[in-house]
């Protein structure tokens, strides 16, 4: 398997895996212990990996949200809790989700995936993708379940970062990219129906180009891996993704 095949093969599974804990019931319950709802926990938890930063930094990191949502997800939520503390709690919530989900995936598979994912993100230059830098501040756990799940989060943020680059390079706006991705996602990201763009063949072509460029950029990131490491990453992503449908707690 070459890097391009790996980028395309893992795109959907990594996207889903890395976000699966966001609005899980166990995460929602964890949010309440910090005086937050699950959406505020998401905003402070994900954004707080960057520190107690200005909202403009959060906008650059998240990119595809309408700026109006940051009053709720970030500015307002910061009045309730410290973002740096919540970021650490958010990672722990991710590990709690992993503990009740990936118990049927062998430690060997998880370790191989985690090593490969860690190698990929370690090779990514700093100051290029904000949320990758944010999550790289957390030490990779010795626990294989936690290490592998942190790897999915990091790879998801990496693909998100290179997708932001691809969208910008093709001249597609964030609003257009979000709308063409999914109308439901458009609404969830704070956009209103009357803000939907006019979809032209030119815009659709730019979206296709952006997706192809995203795959190409991810493939370049995967080039640091050996053949065995690419297989380990693919296998781990597949088995963890399958586990989402039939979760087994860690024994």
Residues 66-75 pLDDT 10s: 999 999 999 9
23-81 pLDDT, tens per residue?
Answer: 999 999 999 999 999 999 999 999 999 999 999 999 999 999 999 999 999 999 999 99
- Using pLDDT thresholds of 50, 70 and 90, give the confidence band for residue 185: confident
Query: 3-state class of 102 per DSSP?
Result: strand
Query: 3-state class of 194 per DSSP?
Result: helix
Output the pLDDT for position 184: 86
- Using pLDDT thresholds of 50, 70 and 90, give the confidence band for residue 201: very high
Contact 152, 95 (CB under 8 A): no
Helix or strand holding residue 209 (H, E): helix 201-222
Residue 210 in this model has a pLDDT that exceeds 90:
yes
* Segment 118-131 mean pLDDT: 97
* Strand extents, DSSP E, 120-193: none
- Using pLDDT thresholds of 50, 70 and 90, give the confidence band for residue 250: very high
Q: Compute the distance between CA of residue 122 and CA of residue 81 in angstroms, rounded to an integer.
A: 30
Q: Compute the distance between CA of residue 98 and CA of residue 101 in angstroms, rounded to an integer.
A: 5
Output the pLDDT for position 77: 97
Query: Any idea where the domains of the chain sit in the sequence?
Result: 1-19+105-251, 21-100
Q: Nearest CA to 111 among 151, 138, 159?
A: 151
> How far from chain centre, in Å, is Cα 96?
17
Residues contacting residue 199 through CB under 8 Å, at least 6 positions apart: 179, 180
Q: Is 0.85 topped by the overall pTM?
A: yes
Half-sphere exposure of residue 131, counting CA atoms within 13 Å on the CB side? 26
Contact 232, 115 (CB under 8 A): yes
Mean pLDDT over the full length of the chain = 97
Q: Compute the distance between CA of residue 100 and CA of residue 251 in angstroms, rounded to an integer.
A: 9
Q: Compute the distance between CA of residue 139 and CA of residue 204 in angstroms, rounded to an integer.
A: 40
Contact 219, 4 (CB under 8 A): yes
């Amino acid at each position: 398997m070459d890097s391009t095949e790996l980028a395309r093969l893992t795109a959907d599974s990594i996207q889903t895996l890395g976000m699966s804990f966001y609005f899980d019931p166990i995460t929602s319950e964890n949010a309440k212990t910090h005086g937050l709802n699950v959406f505020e926990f998401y905003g402070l938890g994900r954004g707080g990996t960057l520190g107690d930063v200005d909202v403009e930094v959060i906008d650059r990191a998240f990119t595809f949200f309408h700026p109006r949502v940051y009053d709720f997800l970030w500015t307002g939520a910061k009045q309730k809790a410290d973002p740096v503390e919540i970021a650490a709690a958010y990672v722990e919530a991710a590990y709690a989700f992993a503990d009740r989900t990936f118990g049927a995936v062998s430690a060997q598979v998880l370790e191989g995936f985690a090593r490969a994912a860690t190698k990929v993100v370690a090779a990514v230059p700093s100051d290029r993708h904000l949320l990758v830098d944010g999550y790289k501040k957390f030490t990779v756990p010795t626990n294989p379940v936690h290490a592998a799940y942190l790897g999915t989060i990091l790879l998801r943020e990496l693909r998100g970062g290179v997708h932001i680059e691809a969208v910008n390079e093709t001249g597609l706006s964030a609003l257009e990219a979000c709308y063409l991705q999914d109308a439901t996602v458009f609404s969830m990201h704070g956009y209103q129906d009357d803000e939907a763009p006019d979809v032209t063949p030119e815009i659709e072509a730019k979206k296709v180009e952006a997706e192809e460029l995203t795959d190409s950029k991810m493939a370049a990131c995967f080039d640091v891996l050996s053949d065995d490491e690419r297989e380990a990453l693919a296998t781990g992503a597949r088995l963890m993704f399958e586990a989402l449908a039939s979760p087994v707690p860690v024994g």
